[in-house]
Structure 1
Amino acid sequence: SITRRLDPHLPAIVGDMEKLKQAFINLVNNAFDAISDKGTITIFTRYDAELGQVIISVMDDGHGISPQELDKIFDPFFTTKPVGKGTGLGLAVTFGIIQEHNGKIEVESPPSIAINEKNENSQGTLFKMYLPVSGKKDKLKTDDIKHIAIS
């Protein structure tokens, strides 16, 4: 299942909307792979006025990522998925897109916050994309994130 906790008052994210959607979809797809049809994905958005950035977070309560793998997950062609299930490019592409937009991406596994009330000790992973709100290109608004998360 997907839970959304979206701030309805976010300023627009500025950048290439198609690339930003691709980055977001990559994170959601990875979360779906991690939960194996029986877990929860939570999508959070918030604005950090001090940083001047919108933070989009995708968290799952799946199997998590080992400390050894965390150092490699953004490397091209690195994958923990079985043969034929992944190319190892999704997170590398996502990392590149976020950098192109003068943002950053962080990962925690397990997350530092409880994933759900039922199982506070679950593994899981939390990805946070930090994106600046100033620039000159297309704007990606919270409504776009809602639409992507639903589809």
Structure 2
Amino acid sequence: MRIKSTLVALMLAAMTTPVMAGNAAVADSQAAILASDFAKKTFEKLNADMKPQRDRLDQLRKDIAAIEEKFQKNQAVMSDKDKRELQKQAEAKLSEFKSLADALQKRAQEVQNDMLKTLIPKTETVVEELRKAGNIDIIIEKKNVIFADPSVDLTKKITEKLNAMK
């Protein structure tokens, strides 16, 4: 029993003893990257380039809904041949929709990966510069921190330095 209470006391002391990491800061690297001018321009261009395909997806969605509505409304009076024809139309539209949606998703992923290939090395350089300039011993990803004073958050500074790089 005495060993148990000693262990509990040691555990409580360990949990309440602050971890001394020296000068620490936090940063949300994803937010910093996405807020950069380069990322914003990349996504604006991607959205503009993909507008015709997104419009086609919207039209296909409407066409599929119209076919479903027509089937629901008229199925009682439709012949088996008409039902099969309507089903073929719906399947063709759905197939085109899925194919186009997959292509759009693949393209968006490729553009995002290319953007990250450019920005991640720059972000690492910026973080290292900020670390050295601020004499910071440790920078922790913000999502892994329960609380951090806003004055130690480097996210905005990272974005500003990324924007200053050409």
From the two aligned structures, give the one with the greater strand fraction. Answer: 1
TM tier, shorter chain?
under 0.3
From the two aligned structures, give the one with the greater helix fraction. Answer: 2
Which one scores higher on RCO, CA 8 angstroms, separation ≥ 6?
2
Q: Which has the larger radius of gyration?
A: 2
